[in-house]
Structure 1
Amino acid sequence: MDDSFNINIPNFTLGKEIGRGGMARVFLGEQLEPKRKVAIKIVTPQGNDPKILEDLQKEGDTVAQFSHPNIVTVFACGVIEQNYYLAMEILGGGDLKQKIESGITELEAFNIMLDMAKALEHAHKRGTLHRDIKPENILFHEDGQAVLVDFGIAKAQNTVSEFTRVGAVVGTPHYMSPERALGKEIDERSDIYALGVVLYEMLMGKKVFDGGDTFAISYAHVHEPVPDLPEEKAKYQTLLNKLLAKNPDDRFQTSTQLVAQLKKYLRRLKPVTDTTHSFAPMPELAAMKKKSSPLPFIITGVVIVLTVLAGMWFMDRQQAIEINQTTLTREQQVEMSNKLGAASGQFNMGNFDLAEELYETVLVEFDCKDEEARNRMKTLNKVKFDQIVASCDD
C-alpha cells in the first residue's frame, strides 16, 4: 500500500492502489474472515465533513442490500478515521470505456444494454437512482457479464443527500440528462437517458455531445437534437431518439419497459439457425440417367419445376411463422399464441381496451410483424399502430 495513505479497517488488509478519481481511491485488498480477495474503495471528503460521511454510509448500506448479477456485490462498508470505505467484489474483465476503444459489435452493445437495464430495474424498484451512469462505471466479469458499479452519488428517490447537494460529486456532464443539467428534480428516467448516451457511444465510438467545457456539453444535452445515425445503423434511430428524448415524458417511463424493448432487439441480432432443407435425390433423376429417350427427361423436368413452384408458394405462405419460430423459444411461441387467442376473444366480446393491450404486447414483446395483431391494432388504435410499425425493424 502507498505509505502516504494509511488506514486500518477491521477484518481487512489493503494492498496496492489500482485507481483513483476525485475524492476516491481504490485498492486491492483482502477480507480476513471469510478469507477472500476484494477491492476496497476509500472516499475522503473535503474537510472530513461528517454529514457527507453519514450520507455515504447510508448510500453504501443501500447498495449492500442489492442482490443482482449485474450490480456489484458489496461485502462491507463503513466510516473509520474520517474516511468512508466500501469493500466489494473484484471485477477482472476491464471496463466499458476500454471495450469501446477496442471496438465492440452491435450484439455485444445490446447485451451490455440489457444487463444495465436489468441492473437499473433492480435498483429503481428499490427506490434508488444511480445518477452517474457512464462507461467507466460499467465493469465486466472475466466471462463478459456486465456489472454496474459506483453508486457513490446514488440516492434514494424523494430524499435529499448532503453529499450530492453540496456538489462534492456532480456526475459526468457527458451523460447528464437535460433535467439534471438544468438542476431540476430527477427520477429513474434520468438514469435511462444516461444509458441512452452510453448506447450511442457503443454504436459510434464517440460521445453523443462533446464540447470544450461543462457548459457547452450541458447546453447540447438541453437544446441540441439527437444526431442521426449512419445508414447502416439507422434501424436503431427510433430507439435512440426515445432514450434521449429531451422531455422525460417522451422516454421509456421505467427500466422494465426498456428491458422488454431491448429483448426484442436482441432476438433480431442473435444469429438465426440455418433452416435450409436438404432433399434426397428424386427417383426420377436416377431413372433419367439410365434412359436415352428425351420424354422421361421432359416429364421429370416438368415435375421438378412444379415441385419447386409449389414449395416456393408454401414457403411464402409460412414465412412469417418460420421466422417467428427461429427467433422465439417454444415457451415464447406458446405464450404469444395464448395472448393472440385471448385478444381475439376480448375483441369479439367488445372489450376493445383489453384487446388493444394484448395485441400491443404481442407486437412489442414477441413479433412486431404478426399479421393478425397488426390488423387488429390498426383498427383499434391507428396512432399506436403507426408508432409500433415505425419502431419495427424491417
Structure 2
Amino acid sequence: MEAGWDDVRAGELIDGRYELVDPAGKGGMAQIWRAHDRKTGRQVAVKFLRLDTEDLRQLDTQEQEEELGHRRLRFIREAGLLAFLRHPNIPEQYAFGTHGGVPYLVMYHVVGINLRTFLNEYTPLPPTVAVSAAAQIAGALVHAHERDVVHRDLKPENLMISERGVGFLIDFGIGKQLGIESTLTQPGSTLGTPGYQAPEQIQGEEATAATDVYSFCCVFYELLTGRPPFVTNDRDGSVERQHLRTTPLRPSDLAAGIGDALDELVLRGLAKEPEQRPTMREILDVLGEFTPRPGDPEPRPWLPNDPTRPFRALDENTAANRSPEQEPAGGTRDDEDGGWLDPDAIELLCSAAERELEEGEPGGAVSELAGLVSRVREEWGRRPLVRQVWELTAGGLWLAGDFGAAARLYENIADDLVRGNNPRERADRAVFGLRAARCRLESDGDTGAAINVATEAGYTAAALPEPYAMQVETERREAADRISELLAARDGGLDSGATPGRE
C-alpha cells in the first residue's frame, strides 16, 4: 500500500508555498486540509486523494492496485474539469500535483457550511431564501453544462453556502465531460447518491445534462419543502422505486408561499423522461424572476449564512463584514473615489458580468468592470479577484468586437498576473496567449503570428500533465480552427502546410 493521507502533517509545505494548517474534512476518497498560501497570504484548501481507506484494505494486492489506478485517474479528471471551469459559484483551482506520492489539488477555500447542515439548522426556509440558494447553484450548472461538463452527484453534501451567503458547487470527483469516453465507470454500475439520482442513473444508463437537472430539482424541492421529493414508506415502497414510478407532491402541498411557477418548474425538472425536463438555463431564467433585488430587506428570521445577500447587497455597505483575507493589502486609506474598493461589491459585479457574457450580451456590469481594470490592479496587486475582473472585461471586449483592446488585456493577464512556472500557471499563460492571438486575428488578420502562438502552445501542452494539457489543447484547437477558416477564405484556398499543429 502506498503512502496515504495519514502521512501528511500540519506544517508541511506543498509545492513550496502551501503550508498545511489543519484537516478540514474527509470523505470516502479524499482528505481536505486548510492551508496558508505563503505567496499570496490567502487561505486555501488542499484536497488529497486518500490511498488507504478501509474498503481498500479489504482487497487483495492486485485489486488494490487496480482500484488505486481508477482513483488516481478520477482525481486527475476532477483536476482537469476544475481547470476548465471558471465561475464565481465553483471553487477555483490554483494548483495540481503530487506530494510524497499522494495526488493533491489546491483550490479556493470556502468558509461556510454545506447545504445539508444549512437545511438541518434552518429549515423551514422562506421561499426567497430557497430560491436564492438554488439560483446560485443553477448558475454554476449552466456554466458547466455549456462547457459539456456534467456533475453526476448533486446532493446537499456537495453544495456549500459561505459566510457571505455565496453558494458553491463542489466535488466534481465523478463529473465528466460529455463526448469523452471513460473507462472509469463499469458498465451497468450506478453513479450518484440514492435519493438524488435520476431514473436513468438508477437504471445504470449514461448521465447527461438532464440527469443533473433532475438531481438539482431534488435538492431544490428539499430547499422549498424541508424534505426530499421521495421518502421510504409502506404504501409507495423504496425511494428508488418512487423515483422510477411515482409523481411527487407539488412543493406547495408541503410548504406555504410557493407559487404555481415554482411548482411547475420543479415538477418539470423531476420528469421521468430526460427529454421532458427543462435545461439549466431555462431553470435559471425562471429562478431569476423570484430572487431578491438590490436593496430588498433581509429575510426573517435572520440567517448567518444568508443566500439572499449576494442578490440584495449591491447597495449595502458590507465593509464591516469583510473577512481578513479580503482586506486590501496595505491597510485602508481614503482617496478621491471614497476609499478602498469593496471586494463584496466587485464580486457581485463579476457575477453580473458573468451572466452577461453567458448570454452573449455584454452590458452595464462589463462596462463597470472595464472602468475598474487599472484601479483593482493598483489596490489589490495580483490577487485572484483582479484577474477575474480582467478576464471578464477582456471577454466582454471580445464579444463587443473591440478585438484590439481585448487582445491587449489578455496579453497583460499572461504577462502581469500569471507569474509562476508550475503546470497550472504555464497552462494559463498559454491559454491567454491563444486568446490574445485569436483577437489579433480578428483585428488585423495576421495568421502567421497566430500560427506561431498556436504551435508554441502545442509544445507547451505536450509538456504538461493531463488536466492542464487538455485545457490548453481545447483552446489551441479553437484557435487552429479559426486560422484555418481565414486561410481557406483567402485567394488560393487553404494552405494546408500552414495549418497550426504540434509535431
Give the TM-score range, shorter chain. Answer: 0.5 to 0.7
Contact kept, 8 Å, 1:153 with 1:169, in 2: the verdict is: no
Structure 1 pair 217/84, CA: closer, same or farther in 2 (3 Å)? farther
Amino acid at match of 1:66: L
Contact kept, 8 Å, 1:118 with 1:259, in 2: the verdict is: yes
Q: CA deviation at 1:187?
A: 0.9
1:266 equivalent to 2:291? Answer yes
Q: CA deviation at 1:166?
A: 8.2
Structure 1 pair 199/271, CA: closer, same or farther in 2 (3 Å)? same
2:71 to 27, 52, 66: 52
1:38 equivalent to 2:44? Answer yes
The higher radius of gyration belongs to 1
Moved more, 74-83 or 158-167: 158-167
Q: CA deviation at 1:161?
A: 3.2
Q: Could you tell me how far apart the structure 2 residues matched to 1:130 and 1:168 are?
A: 16
Q: Could you tell me how far apart the structure 2 residues matched to 1:54 and 1:247 are?
A: 31
2:239 to 200, 206, 217: 217
> Which residue number corresponds to residue 469 of structure 2?
none
Amino acid at match of 2:82: V
1:143 equivalent to 2:164? Answer yes
Q: Could you tell me how far apart the structure 1 residues matched to 2:104 and 2:166 are?
A: 25
Amino acid at match of 1:258: I
Structure 1 pair 259/167, CA: closer, same or farther in 2 (3 Å)? same
Q: Could you tell me how far apart the structure 1 residues matched to 2:190 and 2:102 are?
A: 16
Amino acid at match of 2:144: A
Structure 1 pair 145/174, CA: closer, same or farther in 2 (3 Å)? same
Q: Could you tell me how far apart the structure 1 residues matched to 2:158 and 2:165 are?
A: 15
Contact kept, 8 Å, 2:128 with 2:292, in 1: the verdict is: no
Amino acid at match of 2:8: N
Moved more, 191-200 or 90-99: 90-99
Q: CA deviation at 1:168?
A: 10
Contact kept, 8 Å, 1:163 with 1:169, in 2: the verdict is: no
1:10 equivalent to 2:15? Answer yes
* DSSP-derived class of the 1:175 partner: coil
* DSSP-derived class of the 2:289 partner: helix
Contact kept, 8 Å, 1:112 with 1:146, in 2: the verdict is: yes
CA-to-aligned-CA distance 1:273-305 (integer Å, 9 cap, x gap): xxxxxxxxxxxxxxxxxxxxxxxxxxxxxxxxx
1:208 equivalent to 2:229? Answer yes
Q: CA deviation at 1:115?
A: 0.9
Q: Within 5 Å, which residues of 2 pair with 1:296-335?
A: none
Instruction: Please report the TM-score for the alignment, with normalisation by the length of structure 1.
Output: 0.61
Structure 1 pair 139/267, CA: closer, same or farther in 2 (3 Å)? closer
Question: What are the ranges of 5 or more consecutive residues in structure 1 without an aligned counterpart?
Answer: 273-394
Amino acid at match of 1:100: L
Q: CA deviation at 1:167?
A: 9.7
Instruction: Please report the TM-score for the alignment, with normalisation by the length of structure 2.
Output: 0.49
Q: Could you tell me how far apart the structure 1 residues matched to 2:275 and 2:245 are?
A: 16
Amino acid at match of 1:217: V
Q: CA RMSD in A?
A: 2.9
> Which residue number corresponds to residue 152 of structure 2?
131
CA-to-aligned-CA distance 1:333-369 (integer Å, 9 cap, x gap): xxxxxxxxxxxxxxxxxxxxxxxxxxxxxxxxxxxxx
Amino acid at match of 2:71: I
What stretches of structure 1 move > 4 A for 4+ residues in a row?
A: 166-169
Q: Identical aligned pairs, as a percentage?
A: 28
Amino acid at match of 1:6: V
Q: Within 5 Å, which residues of 2 pair with 1:47-196?
A: 47=64, 49-101=68-120, 102-103=122-123, 104-165=125-186, 170-196=191-217
Structure 1 pair 245/6, CA: closer, same or farther in 2 (3 Å)? same
Structure 1 pair 30/95, CA: closer, same or farther in 2 (3 Å)? same
Q: Could you tell me how far apart the structure 2 residues matched to 1:3 and 1:247 are?
A: 42
